[in-house]
Amino acid sequence: MAKQARQPGLRGWLRSEGKSLLVMLVLLTVARTSFANHYVVPSGSMEHTLMPGDRVVVDMSAYGLRLPYTDTVLIERSQPQRGEVVVFKSPADGTRLIKRVVAVGGDRVSVIGGHLSIDGVPLASAGEAQVEWFGEHRAELNLDAGGGPDVLDAVIPAGQVLVMGDHRGNSQDGRYFGLVPARSLYARALGVYWRSGVGPVWRRL
């Protein structure tokens, strides 16, 4: 009578399938830490663009492909542009923040009463004083708490960016902790996919 084939058991399965599973887990980890992820908005500093509890899709490779869990850039990509919403670590205490890039290297920037001017040109029009345009990026400001600290004719050095919240009087941003190195930006926010009290949405940033 022929012997029944012996089942490989857990040890045999790990030998035959374990390596493939390990490779898959590593690839998933690399993808999550290097390409795409999400961010939960903790405060109202970016109202009306972002609300507390918003879940935001972020592109972690937008400004360079990094070695997972490090700030080491392996492949350079695009440079941050005015109007982009970005995730980064606060230079003050390392807290991860989400703000808008309002000025880049070479810009001469002023902020008066929460309203921004670049190279002497206001970003808001007389007809829409609460809206600023950064090229194609639209920022709907919240000035119910005032405009926050003013900035007068500050020139941004090369390789640095000024970040601010759209809720200008309720944002701990670059006016307090200073400029942020462009290469240290962690990710670019692409859009809101979930809003508390609303559910699934898609609001492109």
Q: How far apart are CA 103 and CA 118, in angstroms?
A: 8
Q: How far apart are CA 93 and CA 179, in angstroms?
A: 14
Name the nearest CA neighbour of 99 among 176, 171, 178.
171
Q: Which of 34, 45, 61, 171 is catalytic?
A: 45
Query: Is the torsion defined by CA of 165, 171, 172, 175 positive or negative?
Result: positive
- Say whether 89 is catalytic: no
Q: Which of 34, 61, 99, 117 is catalytic?
A: 99
- Say whether 45 is catalytic: yes
Strands (E) in the chain, as ranges, are: 36-40, 55-59, 65-66, 73-75, 85-89, 96-104, 108-112, 115-118, 121-122, 124-125, 128-134, 137-140, 151-155, 160-164, 180-181, 187-195, 199-204
User: Known catalytic residues?
Assistant: 45, 99
